[in-house]
Structure 1
Amino acid sequence: MIIAIDGPAASGKGTLARRIAAHFGLRHLDTGLTYRAVAAALLARGLPLGDEAVAVATARNLDLAHLDRDVLSAHEIGEAASRIAVLPGLRQELVRLQRAFAMEPPGAVLDGRDIGTVVCPDATVKLFCTASAQERARRRTAELQSKGVEATLETVQADLERRDARDAARTVGPLKLADDAHLLDTSEMDIETAFKAAVDIVDNVYAR
């Protein structure tokens, strides 16, 4: 059982993926953390973000079962991750690792930008989680401020829109809706409502 959840930043896909994984007794992988882990390692060692060979070598040493979300959530790591995510060789290596994770019994919930289109095109269920840019910026600003990070709605929204454009425009694994994905717009939903809607979609797929 593989559930693929794609969508832009702050759409709620990460929280939703963790809840769904727990509900169905599956493992969970936030694939964005794999890029962040590589970026963090490069930054820590003072290595250039544009060196594809170094990035690929770094990826091969990752342990996908032990990625520290709290450490990897830093803004500067996220910016670096977005930059290295365009490296074709790195994407190829991380996709290989992500697929291997997904294929281990009893299955997994993976969330990211290209799970349903590239990483797991044959996933049992595909969800595309989205929300308006304004709502996503509001959520991300509140999240940052709750951690004591200075952030304004305008700055956060501009940052999200830049990242959206970069993710959608890249030639390898762009952010897009898979043809057979179920669209879930969480703009007007709290997490409980979104979770129930997502579980209903999964249950309906299995009931066919």
Structure 2
Amino acid sequence: MIIAIDGPAASGKGTVARALAAHFGLPHLDTGLLYRAVGAEVLARGLDFADVPALARLAASLDVSALDAEALRTGPVGEAASRVAEIPEVRQALVDLQRDFARQPGGAVLDGRDIGTVIAPEATVKIFVTASPEARAARRFAELSARGEAVTPQSVLDDILKRDQRDSSRAAAPLRQAPDAVLIDNTHLDKHESIARALAIAAARTGRS
């Protein structure tokens, strides 16, 4: 059983995906961390975002076992991840890794922006999680502020809007809801309500409660 959770930045898709993985006893992959890891390395090495061959080689050599989720969730890394995700050569280098993870025996839960449309279009369950830009920015602001990052509500909203535009308009695997994905708009839901809706959708699609 493959469960695909897609959605824009700060929509809560990771929270939903982790809950479903725990509920069904499936491995979980936050595919955004792959792009964040590449973006973080680009920043750390001072590489040019226009140097496509170098970025593609970096993606191909990524060590998934060394990913540090907390270190990769800073604001600058998120911006860098969105930029490298626009590059078809980088995306292709990471596609096989994601597909292999999805198709392991027993299945898996993956969250990202193109899981249900590109990585695992055959997924048993597809959910698209979203919320208004303002709601997502408020959540991300609270998260970043708690980490001590110097951000303002407006700067976070501007970043969310910029990433939405980039993710939705890129030529390679743009962010979009798969035709057979079920929408969860959690603008006015807390995380427990979002998870409850996702569990109900998964149960309806799989027959497993």
TM over 0.5: yes
Aligned to 1:146: 146
Residue by residue over 1:158-194, the C-alpha shift from the partner in whole angstroms, topping out at 9 and shown as x without a partner, is 1101110111011111011100000001111111111
Q: Match of 1:193?
A: 193
Q: Distance in 2 between matches of 1:158 and 1:12?
A: 18
Query: What does the per-residue CA deviation read over 1:83-138, in whole Å, with 9 as the maximum and x for residues that have no partner?
Result: 11111111111111110111112211111111111111111100000001111111
Q: CA deviation at 1:201?
A: 0.4
Give the match for residue 28 of structure 1: 28
The residue number in structure 2 matching 1:122 is: 122
1:10, CA displacement in angstroms? Answer: 0.8
Q: Please list every run of 5 or more consecutive structure 1 residues that lacks an aligned counterpart in the other structure.
A: none
Q: TM-score, normalised by structure 2?
A: 0.95
Q: 1:65 to 1:26 in 2, by over 3 A?
A: farther
Question: Unaligned stretches of 5+ in structure 2?
Answer: none
Task: Compute the TM-score of the two structures, normalised by the length of structure 1.
Answer: 0.95
The secondary structure found in structure 2 opposite 1:184 is: strand
Identical columns (%) = 54
Are the aligned partners of 2:31 and 2:112 in contact in 1 as well (CA < 8 Å)?
A: yes
Q: 1:135 to 1:183 in 2, by over 3 A?
A: same
**Residue number in structure 2 paired with 1:75:** 75
Task: Give the CA deviation at 1:75.
Answer: 1.4
- Who is 1:39 aligned against? 39
Verify the 8 A CA contact 1:59 1:90 in the aligned structure 2: yes
More displaced stretch, 54-63 vs 139-148: 54-63
Shift of 1:65: 4.3
Distance in 1 of aligned mates of 2:119 and 2:94: 9
Tell me how large the CA RMSD over aligned residues is: 1.4
Equivalence map 1:53-202=2 (5 Å): 53-202=53-202
CA distance in 2, matches of 1:61, 1:33: 15
What is the one-letter code of the residue matched to 2:94? L
Amino acid at match of 2:129: C
The CA distance in 1 between the partners of 2:28 and 2:64, in whole Å, is 10
Residues 19 and 66 of structure 1: CA distance in aligned 2, closer, same or farther (over 3 Å): farther
Secondary structure of the residue that 1:3 maps to in structure 2?
Answer: strand
User: Helix, strand or coil for the counterpart of 1:18?
Assistant: helix
Q: Tell me if the contact between 2:74 and 2:144 (Cα under 8 Å) persists in the aligned partners.
A: no
The equivalent of 1:5 in structure 2 is: 5
1:39–1:49 CA contact under 8 A, matched in 2: no
Task: Specify the SS of the correspondent of 1:111.
Answer: strand
CA pair 142-173 structure 1, distance change in 2 beyond 3 A: same
Is the partner of 2:29 in helix, strand or coil? strand
Give the equivalent residue in structure 2 for 1:204. 204
Asked if 2 retains the 8 angstrom alpha-carbon contact of 1:3 and 1:124, the reply is yes
